[in-house]
């Protein structure tokens, strides 16, 4: 009987009948099939997913139900910290609002520990609010000197710790396109010696007289406002649209020694070609600083290039000065829905005077990159960049721009 029944699973009915006769001979085709159904009825088992599917299902259910509390956290304390491991615990405190407590550490001792309250649906889903408090430590931040003409041989390093509390409100009056942002932060930067073995600590090469802010611990009241037009599908991954924005910062030093203002200008445009087979992506980013009368801007607050997402073939924080200009272009090719590759070119310049922010004497690089992405995020970006100071292989958990 078993043979006849199972043969019915895998063979056409016309063949199935040939063997049926050797069992108790049914009188008709219908009777034969009913016999098979009866046999199966005697052997019924619950319909359940296999072990692998059940495991995947538990994970996906946890994600979709909002009950996946623990998550990875790849963001390090400060650029240049190297490979980062971290974790966070996220929980909703109401239907939509959540709290995320997270921390990360790097082999070089960069640490970050913070808690964030995030309300994603303020003002009838026109706004978001973030309250962020934490502490971070960077142990070996590169410092090559100030200005465009510094050399790699002048590398020193420094460290800092920083407790911070920040509130940021973002409003999109039309839910798309127009973005208004405002924020206020209180923090204290405690700059100290660097711990890297690869270069001398900064205080061995500079004094407070030769390097503004060396050894300083200013408490900043940092307020900022942003006006922007954002037509990207997502800041984390997009193949079309652009972002054009201006952010004005006011850094008020509680002691009146290191106060300054800063304005950031950002222009990003993605131009899809041939149904997004390729995307030409461009970014121009400028930072300008206005030192408050009688005060200084500490070296560690100056505009700079942090490395992995700007001048990608150069060491992190390779250039610093009061003003900066970054120009980037990418030619991205879609490989599939989850992978794109890119050829890129970066050029950057810092200058003491805004009038010197031109295209002359820029440091530049080029390279190739691969990005594993989803619809709205880029979990992994791998890039090999070549500049006149050598090759750099970058790994990142975010989109370049």
Partner 1 sequence: MQAILRPRFVAIVLLVAAAATVSSAGRRFYDDDPIARVPERQSAANAKELDIDLFFEYAYNLFVNAERTPSNVRAGNINTIDEVPDSSWFINRIGTTPMTAAQVARGVNSDTPPAPEKWTLLREKSAGTNPGFTARDANGQTWFLQFDAPEFPEGSTGDVEVSTKLYYALGFNQVETFVTTFDPARVEIDPKATVKRPNGKRTPFTQDDIRRVLERSARNADGTYRASAGRLLPGKVIGSFRYQGTRSDDPNDLVPHENRRELRSLRVFGAWTDLVDLKAGNTLDTLVDENGRAIVKHYLQDVGSSLGMANNLHEWDMGWEYYYDGPATKKRLLTFGFALSPWQTVPYVEYPSIGLFEGDEFDPTTWKPQTPVLAYMEMRPDDAFWAARKVMAFTDDLIRAAVHTGQYSNPAAEAHLASVLIKRRDKIGQAYLPAINPIVNPVLRDGGRLTFENAAVAPGFAEAPRSYRAEWFTFDNATGATRSIGHTDSATPAMTAPSLPSGVGTYIEVDLSADSPTHASWAKPVKTYFRLTSGGWKLVGLERLP
Q: Among the candidate windows 141-149, 242-250, 270-278, 392-400, which touches partner 1 by CB under 8 A?
A: 270-278
Which of 18, 24, 152, 204 forms a contact with partner 1 (CB under 8 A)?
18
Residue closer to partner 1 (CB basis): 118 or 164: 118
Closest residue by Cα to residue 261 from 168, 320, 323: 323
Of 198, 293, 337, 360, the residue at the interface with partner 1 (CB under 8 A) is: 337
Q: Is 15 helix (H, G, I), strand (E, B) or coil?
A: helix
Please give the residues from 169 up to 188 whose contact with partner 1 meets the rule CB under 8 A: 175
Exposure string of 311-333, with b = 16+ CB inside 10 Å and e = fewer, is bbbbbbbbbbbbbbbbbbbbebe
Q: Which two tokens stand for residue 204?
A: 């061995």
Phi and psi at residue 6, to the nearest 5°: -70, -35
Q: Name which position in 153, 197, 207, 275 contacts partner 1 (CB under 8 A).
A: 275
| CB 341, min distance to partner 1, A | 7
* Closer residue to partner 1 (CB): 43 or 388: 43
- Residue 359 interacts with partner 1 (CB under 8 A): yes or no: no
The interface with partner 1 within residues 103-132 (CB under 8 A) comprises: 124-125
The strand pairing partners of 159, in sequence order, are 192
Least Å distance, CB 126 to partner 1, is 11
Residue closer to partner 1, measured from CB, 22 or 388: 22
- Specify the DSSP element, H or E, that contains 5: helix 2-10
CB of 332 to partner 1, least distance (A): 9
**Residue recorded with tokens 């950057």:** 348
Instruction: Give the residue with the Cβ less far from partner 1, 223 or 233.
Output: 233
Tokens of 77: 């304390």
Stretch that binds partner 1, among 102-110, 269-277, 295-303, 315-323 (CB under 8 A): 269-277
CA-CA-CA-CA torsion sign (351, 356, 359, 362): negative
Query: Considering the rule CB under 8 A, would residue 6 count as an interface residue with partner 1?
Result: yes
**Cβ contact 156:201 at 8 Å:** yes
Query: How many residues in the chain?
Result: 401
Q: What are 365's two structure tokens?
A: 């690089």
Contact 199, 144 (CB under 8 A): no
Question: Within positions 221 to 250, which residues make up the interface with partner 1, using CB under 8 A?
Answer: 239-240
Kindly state whether residue 280 participates in binding partner 1, applying the rule CB under 8 A. no
Which tokens in the block code for residue 301? 């607050």
Among 174, 210, 293, 336, binds partner 1 (CB under 8 A): 336
Q: Binding pattern to partner 1, positions 30-49, x when CB under 8 A?
A: x-xxx-xxx-xx--xxxxxx
CB of 25 to partner 1, least distance (A): 8
Smaller CB separation from partner 1, 271 or 277: 277
Percent helix, strand, coil in the chain, to 5, is 15, 45, 40
Spatial CA neighbour of 101 closest among 129, 134, 130: 134
One residue of 100, 264, 334, 389 binding partner 1 per CB under 8 A: 334
Inter-residue contact 257 to 218 (CB < 8 Å): yes
Q: How far is the CB of 135 from partner 1 (least distance, A)?
A: 28
Q: How far is the CB of 139 from partner 1 (least distance, A)?
A: 37
């Amino acid at each position: 009987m078993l043979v006849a029944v199972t043969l019915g699973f895998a063979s056409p009915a016309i063949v199935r009948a040939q063997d049926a006769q050797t069992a108790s001979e049914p009188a008709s085709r219908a009777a034969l099939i009913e016999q098979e159904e009866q046999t199966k009825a005697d052997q019924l088992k619950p319909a359940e997913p296999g072990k692998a599917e059940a495991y995947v299902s538990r994970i996906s259910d946890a994600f979709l139900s909002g009950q996946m509390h623990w998550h990875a956290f790849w963001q390090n304390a400060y650029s240049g910290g190297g490979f980062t491991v971290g974790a966070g615990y996220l929980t909703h405190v109401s239907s939509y609002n959540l709290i995320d407590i997270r921390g990360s550490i790097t082999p070089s001792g960069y640490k970050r520990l913070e808690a964030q309250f995030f309300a994603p649906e303020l003002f009838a889903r026109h706004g978001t609010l973030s309250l962020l408090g934490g502490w971070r430590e960077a142990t070996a931040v590169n410092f090559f000197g100030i200005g465009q003409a510094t050399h790699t041989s002048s590398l020193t390093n420094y460290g800092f710790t920083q407790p911070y509390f920040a509130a940021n409100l973002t409003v999109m009056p039309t839910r798309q396109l127009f973005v208004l942002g405002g924020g206020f932060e209180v923090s204290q930067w405690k700059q100290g010696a660097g711990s890297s073995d690869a270069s001398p600590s900064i205080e061995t090469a500079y004094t407070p007289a030769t390097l503004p802010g060396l050894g300083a611990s200013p408490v900043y009241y940092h307020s900022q406002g942003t006006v922007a037009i954002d037509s990207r599908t997502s800041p984390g991954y997009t193949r079309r649209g652009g972002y054009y924005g201006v952010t004005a910062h006011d850094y008020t030093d509680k002691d009146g020694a290191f106060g300054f203002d800063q304005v950031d200008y950002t222009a990003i445009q993605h131009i899809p070609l041939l149904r997004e087979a390729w995307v030409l992506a461009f970014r121009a980013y400028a930072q300008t600083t206005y030192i408050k009368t009688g005060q200084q801007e500490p070296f560690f607050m100056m505009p700079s290039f942090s490395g992995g997402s700007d001048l990608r073939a150069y060491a992190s924080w390779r250039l610093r000065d009061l003003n900066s200009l970054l120009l980037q272009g990418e030619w991205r090719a879609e490989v599939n829905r989850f992978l794109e590759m890119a050829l890129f070119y970066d050029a950057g310049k810092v200058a003491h005077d805004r009038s010197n922010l031109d295209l002359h004497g820029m440091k530049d690089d080029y390279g190739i990159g691969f990005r594993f992405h989803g619809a709205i995020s880029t979990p992994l970006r791998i890039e090999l960049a070549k500049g006149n100071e050598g090759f750099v292989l970058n790994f990142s958990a975010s989109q370049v721009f």
